[in-house]
Amino acid sequence: MKNKEVDIQYVGHSTYILDDKAGTRLLIDPWLKNNPACPENLHEPKDIDYILITHGHFDHIGDLFPAIELNKDVKIITSLEISSWLNAKGVANTLPMGIGGTQAIDNDIKVTMVNAVHASGIADDSSESMLYGGIANGYVVTFKNKFSIYFAGDTAVFSDMKLIGEIYSPDLAVLPIGDHFTMGPKEAFYATKLIGSKHIIPFHYATFPVLVGTPEEYIELVKDLDVNVYVMNPGDVL
């Protein structure tokens, strides 16, 4: 893998910190202190410049407001709907975007929002029912040296993953394998073939009992493909 412009730290479940080593730190789907998989030393990450949100479920934004409080100048990249919800909560530093769009941020990093097949309801104390949070999404993050990562977010497998692979050629794909709420190992195997990335990180498994998909099952399914699978423990850096 031609990386090493960026450190990829797995925080647990679906949360990652990306550090481009030039001074830009990105936090993806902040579920931290309330995340049973998150190491204690990562409960309060600091010096975060951007937070990327894939959708509004609690295990992806559960510690968003504490993260914003810790990082006063942080900017939030998310859908227009979640951005509007945050604006109404007094969070002004949002950078809303739509699926298919790309925006440039610091140090020549480009963030592209891509499709995901999932929901995005927001649990809010102001409402007895879930609020509409737009539709779920994934991201392709491309760094200055053109190294790119596809964060699929919570999703089923879908045929347009082939287009994501053809258009953005991600060097690394981060794919859910837990089953029940997302695709499981079998579907992730098909996603791997569609995307064409040679390097894969499986995520979104084991946190809850219903997430029965395992890295071992996924690795067995992809053993005849030309891919490298990186099974990361919370706290690990790739």
Domains of the chain plus CATH, in order, are 7-229 (3.60.15.10)
Q: What is the mean pLDDT of residues 232-237?
A: 97
- Distance between CA 132 and CA 139 in Å, rounded? 20
Average pLDDT, the chain: 96
Q: What is the DSSP letter of 100?
A: T
pLDDT at 128: 86
pLDDT at 126: 83
The residue ranges of DSSP E strands in 43-161, in sequence order, are 50-52, 75-79, 94-97, 102-104, 110-115, 137-142, 148-151
- Model confidence at 108: pLDDT above 90: yes
Counting residues of the chain whose pLDDT is more than 70, the rounded percentage is 99
Residue 16 to residues 52, 167, 221: CA-CA distances in angstroms? 10, 24, 25
**Number of helices and strands in the chain (H, E):** 6, 13
Counting residues of the chain whose pLDDT is more than 90, the rounded percentage is 94
53, two tokens: 């949100």
Q: What is the mean pLDDT of residues 124-140?
A: 93
Opening angle at CA 67, ends 97 and 61, nearest 5: 55
- Model confidence at 1: pLDDT above 90: no
- Model confidence at 2: pLDDT above 70: no
- Model confidence at 132: pLDDT above 70: yes
Helix axes 185-195, 161-168, angle to 10 degrees: 40
pTM above 0.85, yes or no: yes
Q: Which of 75-84, 85-94, 123-132, 177-186 has the lowest average pLDDT?
A: 123-132
- Provide the pLDDT confidence category of residue 113 given band limits of 50, 70 and 90: very high
Residue 76 three-state SS: strand
- Model confidence at 3: pLDDT above 70: no
